[in-house]
Amino acid sequence: MRFIDLHAHYPMHIGLPKSMSDNPITKLAKQALFDLANGIRNFEPNNKPRISAERVLESTITGLASVLYDPEDEFLVAQEPHPIAIEHIRQQITDVERDASAHALGVAKTLTELQSYINESRPFIVHCIEGGHALSGNPDNVKELEQSGVTYLILAHLRYMGLAGCAKGLPCKSNFWQTLINQDQDPAIGLSNVGFQVLEAILSSKIILDITHCSHLSRKDIMTYYTSSGSHHPIISSHSGAQYLANYELNVSDEWIRFIADTGGVIGVILFPFWLANNPKGKKGIDRSTLSPTQSTTYAQLEEMSALELALIWTDSFSR
């Protein structure tokens, strides 16, 4: 059976992308901060990355969506589009493709390439973007990313960057942390004017729209615009839970589950306990005493499946 991980932070072990516009001295400090954060939050013990070419090749996974994301352009700048963010994405694409090539991983940029890798049983990656701030506030950059083989783009992430209101990204943490990292977000904001322009550019391209991390108001704006536009573009949520099981804004509601299905899109289940259950402290496991009979049955079915079996087959959406 074919399995594709819809959201994998493959570039994390490669380092921050470097642009000609970067200050080399401050870049060293930012890289050191990035390495420290990776070691604490993203890597396994002994500073071992969770996702690397070696680990992909050791697994039985068919392929993965490699997340292009530079935290510098979200957290080390003001809450507005950063002019050189797109330069960092260009360089990260180059860095990822060089690393993949060195390990004989395929990089699929067309359906023909993807099908060829599947037929050859050769593990592959496809590019995706987490956070519309990567566009540097210019909707025209959507076309460039499409030509670079980017498969989907998430409008929002953890911090409002002038495009789309963000849902609380860490449900297990208190509102103090959310306010600290996203202090300039207007609670009444959905999509900004630039956000609508980016949405229009995405729906006019072959890039798939991902609504993960978007706030309720952002999703409402997206649904209204999509419906009125007459678009037949697939929409996805690449890493999410269900609000029915865990009532967080971050998760998808029943309405959105049906809407995504109607567009021909998919929903990827994220295997974090605090996204799959109302567990504000982020403890491991799920307290079954708090579940309804229907929810208990749902979790029992999930537990019978392996992590790979929970990954969704994405070939149909990729082909659109």
Phi-psi region of 137 (alpha: psi -120 to 50; beta: other; left: phi over 0): left
Q: Cβ(49)–Cβ(13) under 8 Å?
A: yes
pLDDT score, position 299: 43
Report the CATH number at residue 229: 3.20.20.140
Helical ranges in 65-183 per DSSP H: 72-75, 85-102, 111-120, 141-147, 175-181
What pTM, to 2 d.p., does this model score? 0.86
Integer Cα distance of 12 and 97 in angstroms: 14
Coil, strand or helix: which one is 88?
helix
Residue 113 lies in domain: 4-318
| Closest alpha carbon to 212 in 63, 7, 64 | 7
Q: Cβ(210)–Cβ(256) under 8 Å?
A: no
Q: How many domains does the chain have?
A: 1
* pLDDT tens over the chain, length 320 residues: 677 888 999 998 888 888 878 888 788 887 787 777 777 666 676 667 788 899 899 888 899 999 999 999 998 888 999 999 999 999 999 999 999 999 999 999 998 999 899 999 999 999 999 999 999 999 999 999 999 999 999 999 999 999 999 999 877 777 887 888 888 899 999 999 999 999 999 999 999 999 999 999 999 999 999 999 999 999 999 999 889 888 899 999 999 999 999 999 988 888 777 777 776 554 554 555 555 555 444 444 444 333 333 333 333 334 44
pLDDT score, position 320: 40
Integer CA distances (angstroms), 93 to 16, 67, 132, 238, 244, in order: 12, 10, 16, 20, 37
Strand partners, 68: 129
| Closest alpha carbon to 26 in 70, 71, 72, 68 | 72
How many CA atoms lie within 13 Å of 106's alpha carbon, on the beta-carbon side? 21
pLDDT score, position 175: 81
